[in-house]
Amino acid sequence: MRKQIAAANWKMNLTVDKAETLLDNIISANINLSNDQLAVFAVPFPYLHLAQNIIGDNDNFYIAAQNCYSKKSGAYTGETSVEMLQSLNIKYVVVGHSERREYFEESNAFLAEKLSIALEYNITPIFCCGEPLSIRDAQTQNEFVAKQLEESLFIFSADDVQKIVIAYEPIWAIGTGKTATSEQAQEMHAYLRKVLTGKYGKDVAGNISILYGGSVKASNAKEIFSQPDVDGGLVGGASLIADEFITIIKSLK
């Protein structure tokens, strides 16, 4: 059975005191997750150790890094290696977020390198894909996201690709005033699974969790997560509010 995942992406937000309070409030809610449900918190790099200590041994709660570099070590000032993440017992890392692609011009080939090294160190990548408004307006979103998968994921074996979590981000519906419906989310998730099926077969594609990253909130999480090919969400702003994210976690299938 595919994992159902509520992943928080804090981005570049919160002071250390606010970060500690937020995690404390969520953990103190005593949320009971089943074996196929996970809560993952992608926190800023300075808070990784703190966050790891706060979640402690709470079952199915994990800390993620928001990024990593494609090399094991070396003279790369300001970068963070997966070896460093592994030494902190970090189990997840976000790779290829739309903001990394847009602001730092990370290519599909470069992201494939990051995925490879994360898997080498047994860290689960949350691989982001999705189309901007211009692509959606041109109705070429299917070809666009298929290319992202093909150029970043198709180098991996069937065994390895099942170790990757995919997060679909409808960039056109984030901060534009446009809204993606749960049906549109399901349509794209089903298409992504179809692309994976074409490469790896139905059984492999059916084992890969695909999260939705389009302005998930407490008010819409249950409806979005109820879609058959949506396996949870990668949540931005709403993950910074304890009550909101607690409700989102409880909305998992």
pLDDT in tens, 210-240: 999 988 999 999 999 999 999 999 999 999 9
Catalytic option among 97, 106, 131, 189: 97
**CA–CA gap between residue 123 and residue 118 (Å, rounded):** 5
Question: Residue 17: pLDDT above 90?
Answer: yes
Report how many domains make up the chain: 1
Q: Name the helix (H) or strand (E) containing 166.
A: strand 165-168
Q: What is the pLDDT of residue 27?
A: 97
Question: Residue 35: pLDDT above 90?
Answer: yes
**Average per-residue pLDDT for the chain:** 96
> Running DSSP on this structure, what letter comes out for residue 45?
G
**Whether 207 contacts 159, CB under 8 Å:** no
Phi, psi of 204, rounded to the nearest 5 degrees: -65, -50
97 is catalytic: yes
Catalytic option among 99, 106, 131, 169: 169
Q: What is the pLDDT of residue 180?
A: 80
Q: What is the pLDDT of residue 106?
A: 98
Segment 72-90, tens digit of pLDDT: 999 999 999 999 999 999 9
Question: Residue 147: pLDDT above 90?
Answer: yes
One-letter identity of residue 229:
D
Task: Tell me which residue range forms the domain holding 52.
Answer: 4-250
- Spatial neighbors of 100 by CB under 8 A, at least 6 apart, are 67, 106, 128
**Whether 134 contacts 150, CB under 8 Å:** no
Q: Which residues pair with 116 in a beta bridge?
A: none
**Whether 197 contacts 205, CB under 8 Å:** yes
Q: What is the pLDDT of residue 1?
A: 81
**CATH assignment at residue 121:** 3.20.20.70
pTM of the model: 0.97
Question: Residue 177: pLDDT above 70?
Answer: no
Question: Span 165-177, mean pLDDT?
Answer: 86
**CA–CA gap between residue 184 and residue 140 (Å, rounded):** 14
Q: What is the pLDDT of residue 179?
A: 66
Segment 90-137, tens digit of pLDDT: 999 999 999 999 999 999 999 999 999 999 999 999 999 999 999 999
183 is catalytic: no
Q: What is the pLDDT of residue 155?
A: 98
- Spatial neighbors of 175 by CB under 8 A, at least 6 apart, are none
**Whether 85 contacts 49, CB under 8 Å:** no
Q: Which residues pair with 128 in a beta bridge?
A: 167
